[in-house]
Structure 1
Amino acid sequence: MPGRSMRAMTFQPDPLQARVLAHERGVLLVTGAPGTGKTAVLREQFARLIEGGADPERVALVVATREAKERTRDVLLQRLGTSLPVVRALTVHGLAFHVMSLRYRALRYDEPPTVLSASEQFARVARMLATERRADWPVYAAMLDMRGFADQVRQFVLRAQEAMLTPEELLQRAEASELHPWRELALFYGRYLDGLAAERIVDFAGLLARAAEAAQAAEPTLDHLLVDDVQDATAASARLIESVSSTSLVVAGDAGSHVFAFQGKTDRPLRRLMEPSPARESVELLTNHRGPASAAAWVSTHVSEEVAAVARELRRTHVRDGVGWDEMAVIVRRTGSHVGGLLRALDEAGVPRAVPEDGVSLLAEPAAIPFMLALRWVARPQERDALVEPLLTSELARLSPAAARALVRAARADGASASGAIDRVDGLTAEEAAGVRSLAQALERAEPLAERSVLDCFRELWTGLEHAKRLVAAASSGSDEARRDLAGVLALAGAVASASRWGSSCDPSMRATKVPAPPSLRAAGISAPCEC
């Protein structure tokens, strides 16, 4: 209710939720359809455990995403109404890191292992593939130098670890099925794991697997563990969850809501828990707290027809049924560049739209892509050879593909790397040369700021790139398309400000600080604060 704090709004459980809150020891499975209050009852159970005297250091609530973690922490702090040394709302990787930081000696580590970032893991796989003997890859030898193949192999070794499969098991399956390409991958998987073990490092999937081993080999790190959305789990995360608490484990999920199989997730752990067993209790929540809803479905033969149908249906519902634009929403399964087609269909149909923060991939905003390329250039020097042509042909330099390739060839002919093309103007017109020099100078000024703050780096690019000035001028002229482009860049600015929270120069205590949009954006009538 407006004006009332969450502290004042006492949780009123229905009878089945009350059974969950009464659980004190052992394993409890909570199931129920969306809207039946699984997340709410887990949060309330967490708060009541703390209020009942449980050690906050030894109570944890695991949620699916980083955004859900932040939201859960805020809700719990408001609900408890007091300061605590720690509120352990974690993702499953956060739980794994917590376990490894306390129990690494159980695995005979001298210190907690280093965790590879996603980009570091990709670079490692690509580097290993590039040095592999072609004779060991009779099927895939021609692909060993391809970035796309390296990314597929990177995901393969992650999925294998999440499934708790050893190289030997994969090799046995490949030989039993006579899948010869899988034999090559299984052998590489073994070499990859051996290399990580020799250097005492893990990737994100390995962190889960090793944390599960450490949890089983040592004393539990928690007294009470609560886990939400367990319908999208992996074998490694399930083993970890089952091993870290000593007093109670409460897991919640809905098998019908399992949607992340394409990311290697599975609902098997949940379905295994749903099988009757005297070793655990179960409660199925039945009361829908979100109200009644109806559903209809249709199928289109092509994505263009689908997005056009969505736009027509929204407009029909607004005109015929009198439903307000702000009372309707479009939900996509996952974000990416394909969302741009949906946004264009809505614009062409005259459907006003607003994109929630972090709700749509920035790849769906074409105007943001040049700035993303510039940020990648200054932050990832190792990728510049691949970035130089897209950068030169983007709106930042506005060269034709032929002119950009000519600069790359000229750089290589002089013995330089492809990225050296950014400093050349051979054969360009005066206008083209000025654009390339301006871009190179802006990138050079931004590069020293990359290690200090991504927000400072983006601000330098925004103020130094001619493309930014052109965007503002076009939006100020009143063009709807230009204003949408500028709004896309503003979305990127918000994402950058949000990312800067995790940088070394951003004090965690400043998370509520508001960073206004740049003055040039405000001059165009687009102004929205971002959180840093």
Structure 2
Amino acid sequence: MFKPRPMQAEILKYQSGKMGVAAVPGSGKTATLSALAAQLITKGSIYDDQEILIVTLVNSAVDNFSTRIGSFVREAGLLENMGYRVRTLHGLAHDIVRERPDLAGLSEQFSILDENESSRMIEAAAAAYLREHPELAELFVDPTIDLHNEPKTQKNWNETVTGICANFISQAKDLQIEPTELREKMEKHHLTDPLLEMAVQVYFEYQRGLRYRGSVDFSDLVRLAHRVLSSDPEFLERLRYRWPYILEDEAQDSSLVQERILRLLVGPDGNWVRVGDTNQAIYETFTTASPTFLRDFLREPGVAAKDLANSGRSNKSIIRLANDLNKWTRDAHPVEELRSSLSLPSII
């Protein structure tokens, strides 16, 4: 039986509207969000043909949420696996695109490329570019190194280039920019950076390979889901009715396109609960994910801002150190621009 702490109980008072929750590590946000989802179901907040939509970050969290919500619903004497849907962003995007592939410009038989095959395609496209442009290594590799006679260094070079291209493609898709559009911008602004030229060409070849296979990758799914929602207002309204409540986990890792998709699904007067740690940013370096989206949401008019500050994960010395570092960063970091990188609440 879940017994909420006072701050968790405050979250469970939610009934409708927009609420943002700044949750510290170990605050029990998964249990709280699961209990809230079950509470909305068991108290009759949705009709039989509606669902609570829970969006989380990784597949393991999907399983965790599904198990917890199912347990809470079962305790209330209702059938589990009804009245809620737990998805990662990619899983949600797949549901949307699979329902209306025509709006995404896809056939009904489109396939999804798994991450391993996607990586192999990018690696092959990058390797082909390097063979055609050996001068690239001359610009970035120590001239005393002969790559042909040093296979380990050659391997490291190839892996580095592949990684650059993979991150570039992922971020370009997150920003919803096609390779042809990038080429046009390069020509317009007379950009001749060799790494940029390489990344755009590899992106172009990668997309051509996907089209040849009749496939999309996970980043395409998200981008195309946004296109689907933006192009058919009637379909969007049906989804808004189907998912009248959206509960977002790990909102500090929300990307630009995730932000756009969820805002479309919620609509101007919808019900949206966003929970995350505003001082955490796992995916920010090579994507458009940023805790800024959650921080800005917490300050929006009409949003009920709450804290989950009680941590049951660490001992007092670690909590004290974390809080001191947070305060020093906000008040005295020598680089003033970084003082806004951390925020309250302090951990209790």
Query: Closer, same or farther in 2 for the Cα pair 1:131/1:179, shift >3 Å?
Result: closer
Query: Closer, same or farther in 2 for the Cα pair 1:131/1:180, shift >3 Å?
Result: closer
Equivalent residue, structure 2, for 1:293: 316
Q: Hey, what's the Cα distance between the residues in 1 that align with 2:295 and 2:67? A: 31
User: Could you tell me how far 1:201 is from its partner in structure 2?
Assistant: 1.7
Equivalent residue, structure 2, for 1:427: none
Letter matched to residue 39 of structure 2: R
Equivalent residue, structure 2, for 1:333: none
Q: How does 1:56-455 map to 2 (within 5 A)?
A: 58-81=51-74, 82-86=78-82, 87-111=84-108, 113-132=110-129, 139=136, 146=158, 149-167=161-179, 168-169=181-182, 172=185, 179-197=193-211, 199-218=213-232, 219-220=235-236, 221=239, 222-245=243-266, 247-262=270-285, 264=287, 265-274=289-298, 276-278=299-301, 280-288=303-311, 293-295=316-318
Name the SS for the 2:317 alignment partner. Answer: coil
Name the SS for the 2:25 alignment partner. Answer: coil
Equivalent residue, structure 1, for 2:342: none
Q: Which structure has the bigger radius of gyration? A: 1
Letter matched to residue 253 of structure 1: G
Confirm or deny: 8 A CA contact 2:97 2:104 kept in the other structure: no
Confirm or deny: 8 A CA contact 2:164 2:199 kept in the other structure: no
Letter matched to residue 14 of structure 2: A
Query: Closer, same or farther in 2 for the Cα pair 1:61/1:21, shift >3 Å?
Result: farther
How many pairs were matched up? Answer: 287
Equivalent residue, structure 1, for 2:340: none
Query: Closer, same or farther in 2 for the Cα pair 1:165/1:272, shift >3 Å?
Result: farther
Query: Closer, same or farther in 2 for the Cα pair 1:97/1:162, shift >3 Å?
Result: same
Equivalent residue, structure 2, for 1:23: 15
Equivalent residue, structure 1, for 2:43: 52
Letter matched to residue 201 of structure 2: L
Post-superposition CA distance 1:400-449 (Å, at most 9, x none): xxxxxxxxxxxxxxxxxxxxxxxxxxxxxxxxxxxxxxxxxxxxxxxxxx
- The alignment-based identity, stated in percent, is 19
TM-score, length of structure 2 as denominator length? 0.68
User: Could you tell me how far 1:80 is from its partner in structure 2?
Assistant: 0.8
Q: Hey, what's the Cα distance between the residues in 1 that align with 2:173 and 2:250? A: 21
RMSD over equivalenced CA pairs, Å: 3.5
User: Could you tell me how far 1:273 is from its partner in structure 2?
Assistant: 2.0
Query: Closer, same or farther in 2 for the Cα pair 1:44/1:170, shift >3 Å?
Result: farther
Query: Closer, same or farther in 2 for the Cα pair 1:227/1:122, shift >3 Å?
Result: same
Letter matched to residue 300 of structure 2: S
Q: Hey, what's the Cα distance between the residues in 1 that align with 2:183 and 2:307? A: 37
Letter matched to residue 225 of structure 1: I
Name the SS for the 2:307 alignment partner. Answer: strand
Confirm or deny: 8 A CA contact 1:63 1:229 kept in the other structure: yes
Name the SS for the 2:274 alignment partner. Answer: strand
Letter matched to residue 22 of structure 1: Y
Q: Hey, what's the Cα distance between the residues in 2 that align with 1:201 and 1:266? A: 29
Post-superposition CA distance 1:22-45 (Å, at most 9, x none): 2313x3221132234433321122
Post-superposition CA distance 1:286-330 (Å, at most 9, x none): 444568621288xxxxxxxxxxxxxxxxxxxxxxxxxxxxxxxxx
User: Could you tell me how far 1:151 is from its partner in structure 2?
Assistant: 4.6
Name the SS for the 2:67 alignment partner. Answer: helix
Q: Hey, what's the Cα distance between the residues in 2 that align with 1:286 and 1:162? A: 32
Q: Hey, what's the Cα distance between the residues in 1 that align with 2:7 and 2:162? A: 52
TM-score, length of structure 1 as denominator length? 0.47
Letter matched to residue 211 of structure 1: A
Name the SS for the 2:279 alignment partner. Answer: helix
User: Could you tell me how far 1:119 is from its partner in structure 2?
Assistant: 1.8
Letter matched to residue 255 of structure 2: T
Greater RCO, CA 8 A, separation 6+: 2
Name the SS for the 1:244 alignment partner. Answer: helix
